[in-house]
Amino acid sequence: MPIKSFAVAMIDALAHSLRSDPNVVLIGAHSFLSDRGLRPEDERALWDAFPDRLIDPPTSEGVCTSLVTGAAMAGMRPFLNYGTATFAFEAFNQIMSEAANVSLMSGGQLRAPMTLHMFAGIRGGGAGQHSSSPQAMYANSAGLELVLPASPADAQGLLRSAIKSDNPTVVITHTRLLSMTGEVPDGDFSTPFGQARIAREGRDVTIVATSLMVREALKAAEALAQDGVEAEVIDPRTIIPLDTAAICTSVRKTGRLVTVDEGNALCSIGSEIAALVAEQAFDALKAPIVRVARPPVPIAFSPPLEAYVTPNADKVVAAVRKTMQA
C-alpha cells in the first residue's frame, strides 16, 4: 500500500469526490490545499481541473455556512473548510440552528448533505483562541454527524464517507496529525461511519481515545507493555454515530476503562463514553473509570503552561496505572 501523509490523504478524498460528483464544491480551498504537502504540480493541477468548484470565499464563516446549507438543501454536496476550528464559532448559529435542524424541522422533506471541516486541537503556541478541541459541542448538536479521523487511511476513507453522507457532517482534524504518514489503500474508497477501529489489542485495560489521542494512547500502550500491562486501544472514529457495542465488548474483556480526549473534561466525549460504559457494562468493571482530558481552562501561551494541561502518553500511562491498582 502506498504511504501518504494525513493531509494528502484528505486531499485525495476530496479530489475523488470532486471527480465523481459534479455537485461537490470546496469552499475554503486555499487553507485546505496549500502548504499541506502536495507536490506543487499536483496542487496546480487540482486548481486547474476545478476552477469553478474550488472557492476561496470572503472571511465570512457565518454566510459560508449558510451558503453550504442552502446549497445542500438545493441539491448540491458542498464541503466547507473553516481553517482553525475556533473560526467556526463565528458560524455557530448557522451550524446549530440551521444545518443541524434541516431534516427534523421540515418533517424529513429536506436534507442537507454537507461537510463542515475544521483544524482543531492544542497545536503548540496557539494560546487562547487557536487551541480549541470543540468536538463535544458538536456532539451535543442533535442533527450533525461527528467524525474524528486519527490515521491517514481513515482521513481519506472517513472524509469520503462524510462527503457522500446525506446528513450534515462535522469533520475535525487535529492540526498535529497533518504530517502523520501511514499506509493508505490505493484508489477511491470509503470508510463506513459507526465502526470503531481496534488500534491495538490487549487484555488488561481498554483505552478509548479519539483523534490525536489515539497516537498518544498507542505510545502509552507500548510503555505499559514493558511492565506487562496489555492495553487495548479503541478508536471510535465517529462519535455520531458511535460504535457503543465495540467499546462495551472490549470493556467486558478487560474490565477496566480509561478514556482519552483532548477536549475539556467537563461534559466531554470521554464523559459520554464513561457514562455509556457505566450504564451498559457496569457489572464488568473491576475498577473505577478514569478520564484523561484537558482541564476546563483556556489554553495559556507559554510552552510549560500549555504542556501542563495537554493530555499525552505519560498522562495516559498514569491513568492506566491508577485503574490497575484500584
Partner 1 sequence: MAFSPRATLARMLLMRRFEEMVITLARVHKLGRQHLAIGNEALGAAALMQLADGDLIYTTHRNHGHMIARGVDSGKALAEILGRAGGLCGGKGGTWHMTDPALGFQSTSAMVGGSIGLSVGGGFALKHRKTGGVAVALFGDGALDEGIAYEALNIASLYALPVLFLCENNSKEGEAQTSRLATKELTAVPRALKIVCASVDGGNPKAVDRAVGAALAHVRGGNGPYFLEAQLVRWPGSHQIVHEFTTGVTDVTAAWDKAKASNEHAEWQRNDPILRFAHDMIACGALTREDVVALDADANAMIAKARTFAEASPFPKPEAALAGVFV
- Count, in order, helices (H) and strands (E) of the chain: 13, 14
Footprint of partner 1 on residues 25-64 (CB under 8 A)?
25, 52, 57-58, 60, 62-64
Residues 77-106 that bind partner 1 (CB under 8 A): 93-94, 97-98, 101-106
98 vs 261 by CB, closer to partner 1 = 98
| Number of shown-chain residues binding partner 1 (CB under 8 A) | 42
Q: Name the residue with cell 465488548.
A: 249
Sign for the pseudo-dihedral over CA of 286, 287, 288, 289 = negative
68 scored as a contact of partner 1 (CB under 8 A):
yes
Minimum CB separation of residue 54 from partner 1 in Å reads 13
Q: Which is nearer to partner 1, 104 or 127 (CB)?
A: 104
- Determine if 243 is a binding residue for partner 1 (CB under 8 A): no
The answer to the question of residue 109 lying near partner 1 (CB under 8 A) is yes
Q: Is the Cα torsion angle 19, 138, 312, 210 positive or negative in sign? A: negative
Q: By the 8 A CB rule, do 261 and 235 touch?
A: no
- Can you tell me the distance from the alpha carbon of 117 to that of 164, in angstroms, rounded to the nearest whole number? 14
69 binds partner 1 (CB under 8 A): yes
* Contact of 72 with 46, CB cutoff 8 Å: no
Q: Supply 308's cell numbers.
A: 501542563
| Strand pairing category for 145-147 and 238-240 | antiparallel
Cell of 156: 481519506
Q: Which is nearer to partner 1, 25 or 163 (CB)?
A: 25
Backbone angles phi, psi at 41, to 5 degrees: -70, -30
For position 171 contacting partner 1 by CB under 8 A, the verdict is no
Cβ of residue 22: shortest distance to partner 1, in angstroms? Answer: 9
20 counts as binding partner 1 under rule CB under 8 A: no
Q: Does 18 bind partner 1 (CB under 8 A)?
A: no
List the catalytic residue out of 130, 145, 232, 306.
Answer: 130
Whether 61 is a known active-site residue: answer yes
The residue (of 58 and 228) whose beta carbon lies closer to partner 1 is: 58
Which residues is 119 bridged to in the sheet? 84, 173
* E strand or H helix that includes residue 75: none
Neighbours of 303 (CB within 10 A): 10
Residue 41 among the catalytic residues: no
Residues recognised as catalytic: 61, 130
Query: Which residues in this chain contact partner 1 in the complex, by CB under 8 A?
Result: 23, 25, 52, 57-58, 60, 62-76, 93-94, 97-98, 101-111, 113, 142-143, 145, 166-167
